[in-house]
Amino acid sequence: MDLGTGLERYTERDWQTTTEGTVRLALIGLGWWTVDVAIPAIEDSDLCETTVLVSSSTEKAQNLADEHGAERGLTYDEYHDGVAADEYDAVYVGTPNAYHLEHVETAAALDKAVLCEKPLEATVERAEKLVAAAEEADIPLMTAYRMHTEPAVRRAKELVESGFIGEPLQVYGNNTQPVLEMIPDPDQWRLNPDVTGYGTSVMDLGIYPINTARFVLERDPVDASARMRSEHEAFADVPDEFASFTLTLEGGILLSCTASQNAQTDTHLKIIGTEGQLELSPAFHGEATLHVSKGSLRAEIEETDFEATEEMREEFDYFADRVLTGAEILPDGRHGLDDMRTIRAIYEAADRGETVEIDLENER
């Protein structure tokens, strides 16, 4: 039965091209996300193994390496010097935004594949250099959009492709979290424009609905409008404690988003079409639940064990699958660069108080 088959393959890895082989990873930047989410995800993966951990201090790196059965702990300097380069095949760059470039440049020099966290860098210019470094060295480069391998998102994409909701018309996205409660430090890097880049809420959170809508709808943005404000003193150096922005996507679809680093956690993506509606709620940080409605039909589907760790496991295995077989990476460096250009336009639109055109085709 179709419904049964559809549910049966809900978490099927329809992207998978191999189940053979192992990619040995060096993890660069040992913040809470790398330690609490990425390391367990890799342990749970089929095709990845953590062999090297890289951090600012030898002690921290080595202690975590011992704790998690990795072979080596290295400092950033040792990594840049190529120490133990034969002990890993690829690097995961999980450092603050403005340090991505240097780590990718080293990976390129060492001929290692790269999985780089999003946003790709702090600015468009630095992200362009990052992509150029990878392309010149001809290493695989993936931007770490874990929504691309999130089952609820993939099923939503297929429903849109099948015409289930008719023509998509309008999209609403939200991504908010209380970053000062999560990390009680007003001087954290996400609030420092030298490290985070253009700002914090759109760079770190708004990027989720932007990229997920692009992926699900296969439409790129053509212009941006935005409003932003910062009131809390910890947000004094960034413009977007609160942000609201609208992107016009190809074909005139409007993507209206809100994002804030100083609000209670909520993640949501809602796609309204001529005949039906899809909602991911929650959408972006694990436990994604797909709500479908069409006429008087209502369906709700969730995978209860799909937390952030499972999302990262799928992402790591997708990356490893591509590295092992050489198959195309969808969210590659240029795909991540498109979002950087879009985000720059959003900050520019907020700053100028007017709609800013985005011409990705020409900028590529």
Smallest Cα–Cα separation from 156: which of 251, 277, 252? 277
**Binding mask of the shown chain, residues 11 to 50, with x at each position contacting a copy of itself by CB under 8 A:** x---------------------------------------
Q: Which is nearer to a copy of itself, 1 or 231 (CB)?
A: 1
Q: Which is nearer to a copy of itself, 49 or 307 (CB)?
A: 307
Interface residue with a copy of itself among 301, 327, 332, 355 (CB under 8 A) is 301
Interface residue with a copy of itself among 86, 162, 187, 328 (CB under 8 A) is 162
For the CB of residue 302, give the shortest distance to a copy of itself in the complex, in Å.
5
Give me the phi and psi of 279, to 5 degrees please: -135, 135
* 4: amino acid identity, one letter: G
Q: Does 167 bind a copy of itself (CB under 8 A)?
A: no
For the CB of residue 154, give the shortest distance to a copy of itself in the complex, in Å.
10
Q: Does 353 bind a copy of itself (CB under 8 A)?
A: no
Q: Does 8 bind a copy of itself (CB under 8 A)?
A: yes
Q: Which is nearer to a copy of itself, 184 or 295 (CB)?
A: 295
For the CB of residue 49, give the shortest distance to a copy of itself in the complex, in Å.
25
Residues 100-159 that bind a copy of itself (CB under 8 A): 155, 158-159
Name, in order, each residue with C-beta under 8 angstroms of 116's C-beta and a sequence gap of 6 or more.
92, 93, 100, 103, 104, 130, 141, 142, 143, 144, 333, 336
- How many C-beta atoms lie closer than 10 Å to residue 208's C-beta? 23
For the CB of residue 9, give the shortest distance to a copy of itself in the complex, in Å.
7
Which residue shows structure tokens 């966290």?
117
Residues 191-220 that bind a copy of itself (CB under 8 A): none
59-67, 77-85, 212-220, 294-302 -> range binding a copy of itself (CB under 8 A):
294-302
Q: Using alpha carbons only, how large is the chain's radius of gyration in Å? A: 20
Q: How far apart are CA 49 and CA 299, in angstroms?
A: 38
Q: How far apart are CA 123 and CA 291, in angstroms?
A: 35
Q: Are 107 and 76 in contact (CB under 8 A)?
A: no
What DSSP designation does 170 have?
A: E
Q: Are 141 and 329 in contact (CB under 8 A)?
A: yes
> Which strands form 113-116's sheet, in the order they lie side by side?
72-75, 48-55, 23-28, 90-93, 113-116, 141-143
Q: Does 161 bind a copy of itself (CB under 8 A)?
A: yes
Torsion on CA atoms 145, 225, 172, 186, rounded to nearest 10:
60
Q: How far apart are CA 245 and CA 355, in angstroms?
A: 10
Q: Which is nearer to a copy of itself, 10 or 172 (CB)?
A: 10
Q: Which is nearer to a copy of itself, 5 or 264 (CB)?
A: 5
Interface residue with a copy of itself among 15, 33, 164, 172 (CB under 8 A) is 164
Q: Which is nearer to a copy of itself, 232 or 298 (CB)?
A: 298
Q: Are 197 and 97 in contact (CB under 8 A)?
A: yes
For the CB of residue 266, give the shortest distance to a copy of itself in the complex, in Å.
21
For the CB of residue 148, give the shortest distance to a copy of itself in the complex, in Å.
17
Q: Does 297 bind a copy of itself (CB under 8 A)?
A: yes
For the CB of residue 8, give the shortest distance to a copy of itself in the complex, in Å.
7
For the CB of residue 296, give the shortest distance to a copy of itself in the complex, in Å.
4
Q: Are 332 and 113 in contact (CB under 8 A)?
A: no
Give me the phi and psi of 14, to 5 degrees please: -70, -5
Interface residue with a copy of itself among 32, 299, 325, 357 (CB under 8 A) is 299
- Judged by CB under 8 A, the number of residues near a copy of itself is 31
| C-alpha dist (Å) from residue 78 to 13, 63, 75, 279 | 37, 16, 5, 46
Q: Does 282 bind a copy of itself (CB under 8 A)?
A: no
The footprint of a copy of itself (CB under 8 A) covers 1-11, 155, 158-159, 161-162, 164, 292, 294-306
